[in-house]
Amino acid sequence: MLLTLPKRMSLGLTFALIAAVLLPLLSYADPSKLLVNEPSRDSTDKFTPPPPQSRLITQSQYSRVIKDVFGPDITITVRFPPLPREGGLETLATTDTALTPAGFESFYSAASDVAAKVVDEEHREFLIPCKPRSISAPDDKCAERFFQSVGPVLYRRPLTKEEAAFQVWAAAQGTVATKNFYRGLALSLTGMLVSPKFLMISDTIATDRQRPLAAKLDAYSKASRLSLFLWNSFPDRALLNAAKDGKLDAKAGIEYQVQRMMKSPRMEAGVRAFFEDMLRLDGIEGVSKDPTVYPMYTRRVAAAAKEQVLRTVVDLVLVQDTDYRNLFTTKTLFVSPVLGPIYNIPVTDPAEWSEITDTSAERAGLLTQPAFLAEYAHTARSSPTRRGRAVREIFLCQNVPNPPSNVDFSALNDPDPKLKTVRDRLSAHRSNPVCAGCHRITDPIGLALENFDGAGRYRETEDGAAIDTSGNLDGTKFQNITEFTEAVAHSAQLPRCLTTRLADYAVARNLGAPQKPWIDRLQQDFVANGYRVLKLMEDIATSDEFYSISSPVVDQTVVANTGVALLN
Amino acid sequence: MKFEVSRRRVLRGMLSGAAITVGLPLFDCLLNENGEAMASGLPIPIRFGIWTWGLGMTSQVYVPHNFGANYDFPEEIASLKDLAPFLNFYSNYRIPRDDKPNLCHFTGWVAIRSGEVPTAVAALPGSSFDVKVAAEIGNGTRFRSIVATATGSPQSSQSYYNAKAINPPQISETEFYKAVFGSEFQDPNSSVFTPDPVTMARKSVLSGVVEDSQNLSKVLGSADRARLDQHFTAIREVEQRLAVQLEKPPPAEACQKPEPPKADEEPGIDVEVIGRRHKTMTDILVLALACNQTRVFSMQYSDSFAFTSRKGFPRNHHVATHEEGNDPVLGYQTDASWFIRRAMENWAYFVGAMANVREGGGTLLDRSLVFAHSDQALARTHAIDGIPMWTAGRAGGRLKTGLHIDGKGAPASQLPLTCMRALGLQTGFFGSGSLETDKVVSDVLV
């Protein structure tokens, strides 16, 4: 049975609910009718831009920004409040999540730690552009130089005079209290790092007194949108300067910056961030196994399994710039000594990670890596249902309904102990009409992966019986893992799903029917360009639609008096 | 900025001259005239918390057969028997859904916490009532409330302001200890108190951050303005915490700073790991209450869909509730029941830990009210009528204990309302739709 019920489900909520209650009863004869391809973006010919929005910085972005601004050795360990995944992505939840006091404490703690490290003796020499006249007294000039240096990068635009004055004042307050200039500077920097100006990334509208209703992102908001998408970080100084000089107002200027950014080493962080979000890798490190069944599966294995996936992605998507579908069929394997017991291979290379070519027919691509196999399994056994559901939801953007609450589970009493394999046991479930609908769309996929146990180790038998991995994926038949992964790679839903996820991620919003023409065009080009993810990222980043916003409702009185658009 | 210019000068002058007034924080919720006082003569505050576990119960071996006083403790709750004088058990309360769906492992706890039946998974309605309680009685302490979980998962929280503002839980024993008893902890029984000028500077910087950011609201849409306001509220909460630290804390005779945990448990939801994590977190939480660091808490032993596992058993708790057959002799799912028994042992540990702290001639539990509930009655069928609920403690004399209350089909929202009334909140009614009630469980209120 379908038993994995995350507390806060996020996908197609209302629709899934209706589907969960009604469709299993109506669709037994045709289980494919149970699938919900999300999101439903029915036809519209004209692209309509979405309204402006604010988003909360993610933990991943926070860490990245701190590293980019202050250096890679300024790290944080504090956890930020979890964001409930929406539309398959955690990033989408950033646009409507609010901070609770307890959540703010996490940011405050992180900010205090970062600020303390920035001013410590090890870092102040190269992070603070001046030395105070006295270490025990305020030095407004030196403090101002520091904040004029880091402030624009943290706020993603130049500081106003008032903002700079506030930071200098705060540094002086702290210096008086601590009798130490650097600790005072740290207190002020802490304030900057918990300010909504830093933590909330808001679309700012370029105001035009002549045409107050013509909505347009200002250049600094364009720069932020671009850098968060490509680098998972804030704009660097070159991008801020381009914004300042008006170069992002022209298509050529944007294209130049996109080319520059895509050649930057920071691009790897951007690629990793998207796939970590889309593949839901945030959950893998919390996966634990029954040590009596899987003694080799440890915390270190879980962390290494996550890194293995990301190394595979970076190699294929960024380094080789190859076909996205290769992620599902690749025979290139990145292994570390920690993963050796899972693969049952000796990893003797003293380097932490080795790249090898798997010549066996046992594994191919991401779906046969332990991160996926172990996360979508139970603590002491595999789970074809969880694996099948995950393939449909993550890679094909299809929602599998939850089981209705009124299922009579008494029909599912312990099956015959003579049934050796999970395929046999699940067939007992499928004899129940209410359960059969959903299980028929998840289990054939999951059963194809039954050659892997709950920790991701390869096996050919279960309880002494040979494992049968044959099945079909939406009409495409397969006999073994090679054919199965090929079937997934060539699924008609695959390019649409990736395009949708990437576009949603880029603008941090669940794009709907009004934006369908843009998605259609991106998907068409993605396929025509050989399924190259990098090219798709470039297409998104250079699209006019990427920077388009609709006119908010504007309070005309405020505009007339102040030139500022007050939105409702 | 006009306001701050003068204020900053004042603060700078105060810091320079160390002209700091030391005062005592006022409690917002004091004991009534029948309450006992500490040796210092100060009244003892009332504390409130919620303790939750997932996947309900096996009613035939859980629900006591007798009502009223001296009720029995069937085998699934046998571990609680010695604590009977401190406990009330509530059975036969319903969650009328008004044609809304029964969302598995969601509708039950959400309806109890908020008094509203959700329409879709993740669509949390209203706010959880512990947040309302914290707003009333949580002032004057470092933490308005503490949310913790033994699951180790950052997603394990049933405490929320609204659907998009969920209180993140403490999930690490060492981080929890550091947050409460780390460098910022001030021993309330210390004879020495020196206000830290750095704390004052931090507070004034945060105050300045709010003012410096006010202009943002002019360029945001209404929804984002609301989020900005919540951001400001969160900053002010930290300011309040810092303000508390600038005043000499009142003595707390039961306060003892605990030893820090050596390390976190390995991640995972094995029942033994969860048990050890729960014990360590309970010990920290109980002393946080005794040391007046907070007055409101929410502790989650297991998730509503509890995947709690057991070494050597292929089925975790959740899977067992759905896949295990009834024992032909006993007539219930023995593996599923095994997990519930472990949950009840942990509930017993929690209650016992609070009862073991002596203060003001009584115990910490005497001055507390802890409400415990699950998400289902029988998890196998996702039943939400008859969800097991408990209270522990006497709320400073406002609640009778030692009773098994028959709800006779009344809405479960009566329990949160009863809790709020017992805590002195002037709450006229609670819940919406058929869950709306202005009735309390009068049999337990003094």
> Cβ distance B94 to B412 under 8 Å?
yes
Closest CB to A290 among B144, B311, B322: B311
Kindly list the residues from chain A whose CB atom is less than 8 angstroms away from the CB atom of residue B197: 176-178
Q: What is the pLDDT of residues B151-203, one digit of tens each?
A: 999 889 999 998 888 999 999 999 999 999 998 899 999 988 888 899 999 99
B14 shares its domain with B144: no
Test B164 with A170 for CB contact under 8 angstroms: no
The reported pLDDT for the residue numbered B44 is 65
Query: What is the C-alpha to C-alpha distance for residues A254 and A250, in angstroms, rounded to an integer?
Result: 7
Test B322 with A1 for CB contact under 8 angstroms: yes
B442 within a domain of the structure (yes/no) = no
> Cβ distance B317 to B306 under 8 Å?
yes
Q: What confidence category does residue B332 fall into, taking pLDDT thresholds of 50, 70 and 90?
A: very high
The reported pLDDT for the residue numbered A21 is 34
Test A567 with B222 for CB contact under 8 angstroms: yes
The reported pLDDT for the residue numbered B41 is 52
Sequence-distant (≥ 6) Cβ neighbours of residue B71 within 8 angstroms: B64, B65, B84, B89, B403, B404
Locate all alpha helices (DSSP H) within A35-74, ordered by sequence: 59-70
Mean pLDDT along residues A33-62: 74
Q: What is the pLDDT of residues A274-302, one digit of tens each?
A: 999 999 998 888 788 888 889 899 888 99
CA distance A31 to chain B (A): 22
B444 within a domain of the structure (yes/no) = no
Residues B325-361 as b/e (b if ≥16 CB within 10 A, e otherwise) read ebeeeeebbbbbbebbbbbbbbbbbbbbbbbebebbe
Kindly list the residues from chain B whose CB atom is less than 8 angstroms away from the CB atom of residue A81: 154, 166, 168
Mean pLDDT along residues B422-439: 95
- Bridge partners of residue A333, in order along the sequence: A356
Q: What is the pLDDT of residues B66-95, one digit of tens each?
A: 999 999 999 999 999 999 999 999 999 999
The reported pLDDT for the residue numbered A209 is 64
The reported pLDDT for the residue numbered A38 is 56
Q: Where are the domains of chain A?
A: 13-34+292-489, 54-202
B148 shares its domain with B67: yes
The reported pLDDT for the residue numbered B43 is 61
Give the residue from B213, B246, B279 where a domain finishes. Answer: B246
The reported pLDDT for the residue numbered B429 is 95
Test B303 with A7 for CB contact under 8 angstroms: yes
Between the ranges A93-102, A301-310, A396-405, A418-427, where is the mean pLDDT highest? A301-310
Q: Which two tokens stand for residue B156?
A: 């394990």
Sequence-distant (≥ 6) Cβ neighbours of residue B255 within 8 angstroms: B187, B188, B189, B287, B290, B291, B292
Closest CB to B220 among A81, A407, A567: A567
Q: What confidence category does residue B323 fall into, taking pLDDT thresholds of 50, 70 and 90?
A: confident
CA distance B347 to chain A (A): 22
Mean pLDDT along residues A175-193: 96
- Name the closest residue on chain A to residue B210, using Cα atoms: A195
Test A195 with B213 for CB contact under 8 angstroms: yes
The SS3 assignment for B91 reads strand
B241 shares its domain with B260: no
pLDDT at residue B6 greater than cutoff 60: no
B18 shares its domain with B104: no
B267 shares its domain with B392: yes
B46 shares its domain with B95: yes
Q: What is the pLDDT of residues B227-281, one digit of tens each?
A: 899 899 999 999 988 998 898 988 898 999 999 999 999 888 899 999 999 999 9
Mean pLDDT along residues A15-23: 35
B419 within a domain of the structure (yes/no) = yes
B307 shares its domain with B356: yes
DSSP, res B365: T
- Name the closest residue on chain A to residue B217, using Cα atoms: A566
Contacts within 8 Å (CB) and 24+ apart, A529-536:
A530/A323, A531/A323, A531/A324, A531/A325, A531/A495, A532/A321, A532/A322, A532/A323, A532/A324, A533/A271, A533/A317, A533/A324, A533/A498, A533/A502, A534/A262, A534/A317, A534/A318, A534/A321, A535/A321, A536/A498, A536/A499, A536/A502
- Name the closest residue on chain B to residue A161, using Cα atoms: B212
Cβ-based neighbour number of residue B199 at 10 Å: 18
Test B220 with A202 for CB contact under 8 angstroms: yes
Kindly list the residues from chain A whose CB atom is less than 8 angstroms away from the CB atom of residue B235: 104, 194
Q: What confidence category does residue A393 fall into, taking pLDDT thresholds of 50, 70 and 90?
A: very high
pLDDT at residue A333 greater than cutoff 80: yes
In the predicted model, what is the mean pLDDT of chain A?
Answer: 85
Which residue did the predictor score with more confidence, B229 or A28? B229
Q: What confidence category does residue B42 fall into, taking pLDDT thresholds of 50, 70 and 90?
A: low
Test A177 with B200 for CB contact under 8 angstroms: yes
The reported pLDDT for the residue numbered A414 is 54
Kindly list the residues from chain A whose CB atom is less than 8 angstroms away from the CB atom of residue B321: 409
Query: What is the C-alpha to C-alpha distance for residues B128 and B109, in angstroms, rounded to an integer?
Result: 10
Pairing of strands B160-162, B165-166: antiparallel
CA distance A373 to chain B (A): 17
> Cβ distance A451 to A38 under 8 Å?
no
B140 shares its domain with B160: yes
B115 shares its domain with B14: no
> Cβ distance A271 to A314 under 8 Å?
yes
Which residue is associated with the tokens 């691009």?
A267
In the predicted model, what is the mean pLDDT of chain B?
Answer: 88
The reported pLDDT for the residue numbered A78 is 62
> Cβ distance B366 to A395 under 8 Å?
no
Q: What are residue A37's phi and psi, to 5 degrees?
A: -75, 115
- Name the closest residue on chain A to residue B54, using Cα atoms: A7
Test B209 with A195 for CB contact under 8 angstroms: yes
Kindly list the residues from chain B whose CB atom is less than 8 angstroms away from the CB atom of residue A21: 101
pLDDT at residue A36 greater than cutoff 60: no
Mean pLDDT along residues A472-484: 93
Q: What is the pLDDT of residues A110-140, one digit of tens each?
A: 999 999 999 999 999 999 999 999 999 999 9
Kindly list the residues from chain A whose CB atom is less than 8 angstroms away from the CB atom of residue B162: 98
The reported pLDDT for the residue numbered B254 is 92
CATH of the domain at B37: 3.40.720.10
Q: Number of A:B CB contacts under 8 A?
A: 273
Test B326 with A413 for CB contact under 8 angstroms: yes
CA distance B175 to chain A (A): 9
Q: How many domains does chain B have?
A: 2
Nearest to B399 by CA among B443, B353, B355, B347: B443
Test A100 with B1 for CB contact under 8 angstroms: no
Locate all alpha helices (DSSP H) within A331-376, ordered by sequence: 340-343, 370-375
Locate all alpha helices (DSSP H) within A195-231, ordered by sequence: 196-199, 219-231
CA distance A514 to chain B (A): 20
Q: Among A44-58, B332-346, B406-420, whose mean pLDDT is lowest?
A: A44-58
Mean pLDDT along residues A28-33: 45
The reported pLDDT for the residue numbered A86 is 87
The reported pLDDT for the residue numbered A85 is 84
Test A176 with B179 for CB contact under 8 angstroms: no
Q: 3-class secondary structure for B264-308?
A: CCCCCCEHHHHHHHHHHHHHHHHHHHHCCCECEEEEECCCCCCCC
The reported pLDDT for the residue numbered A428 is 66
In Å, how far are A410, B330, B333, B382, B444 from B327, measured between CA atoms? 12, 5, 6, 19, 37
pLDDT at residue A40 greater than cutoff 80: no
Kindly list the residues from chain B whose CB atom is less than 8 angstroms away from the CB atom of residue A195: 209, 212-213
Closest CB to B147 among A102, A187, A378: A102
* % of chain A surpassing 70 pLDDT: 82
Q: What confidence category does residue A371 fall into, taking pLDDT thresholds of 50, 70 and 90?
A: very high
ipTM of predicted complex: 0.80
- Bridge partners of residue B403, in order along the sequence: B69, B88
Test B304 with A567 for CB contact under 8 angstroms: no
B42 within a domain of the structure (yes/no) = yes
Q: What confidence category does residue A206 fall into, taking pLDDT thresholds of 50, 70 and 90?
A: confident
Q: What is the pLDDT of residues B122-149, one digit of tens each?
A: 789 999 999 999 999 988 899 999 999 9
Closest CB to B206 among A103, A183, A191: A191
- Name the closest residue on chain B to residue A81, using Cα atoms: B168
Test B101 with A176 for CB contact under 8 angstroms: no
Q: What confidence category does residue A351 fall into, taking pLDDT thresholds of 50, 70 and 90?
A: low
What's the angle, vertex CA A205, arms to CA A199 and CA A211, rounded to 5? 170
B64 within a domain of the structure (yes/no) = yes
Q: What confidence category does residue A565 fall into, taking pLDDT thresholds of 50, 70 and 90?
A: very low
CA distance A9 to chain B (A): 6
Kindly list the residues from chain B whose CB atom is less than 8 angstroms away from the CB atom of residue A178: 197-198, 201
Kindly list the residues from chain A whose CB atom is less than 8 angstroms away from the CB atom of residue B313: 290, 380
The reported pLDDT for the residue numbered A100 is 87
pLDDT at residue B405 greater than cutoff 90: yes
Which residue did the predictor score with more confidence, A425 or A471? A471
Mean pLDDT along residues B413-436: 95
Q: Which domain holds residue B50?
A: 31-187+255-435
Closest CB to B122 among A10, A196, A381: A10
The reported pLDDT for the residue numbered B422 is 95
Test A103 with B152 for CB contact under 8 angstroms: no
CA distance A195 to chain B (A): 6
Q: What is the pTM of this model?
A: 0.84
In Å, how far are A24, A51, A102, A298 from B147, measured between CA atoms? 38, 35, 9, 28
